[in-house]
Amino acid sequence: EAQVTQNPRYLITVTGKKLTVTCSQNMNHEYMSWYRQDPGLGLRQIYYSMNVEVTDKGDVPEGYKVSRKEKRNFPLILESPSPNQTSLYFCASSLGDRSYEQYFGPGTRLTVT
């Protein structure tokens, strides 16, 4: 089954404790992206990757890091989480090269206390 998977689905952590949210897709997509969803703000792009070893900032990159060492994986790293990063996070992938249709993962609910 073609899908985007994310882990963990739910995470509660404390300020400053490094964490990683994993994302994996099995569709051989070139383009992958991370979004955060907050009430009244919709989906805002954090980082994206056009292909292996090619990443760039989205609209709200502060406090986040990403890496793309393999085509299928695109982890989101929070080196020192803060309460304002409490949010619902989605990973998405698309074929690439102006194929805009994006496939979303099930989401990760992160709470930082």
Residues forming the site for other proteins (CB under 8 A): 4, 31, 33, 35, 40-45, 48, 50, 56, 58, 90, 92, 94, 96-107
For residue 110, the minimal CB distance to other proteins (Å) is 15
Q: Which two tokens stand for residue 9?
A: 């689905």
For residue 112, the minimal CB distance to other proteins (Å) is 21
CA-angle at 107, arms to 103 and 109, nearest 5°: 165
Nearer to other proteins, 14 or 108 (CB): 108
Strand partners of residue 6: 23
Distance, in Å, from the CA atom of 92 to the CA atom of 94, rounded to the nearest integer, reads 7
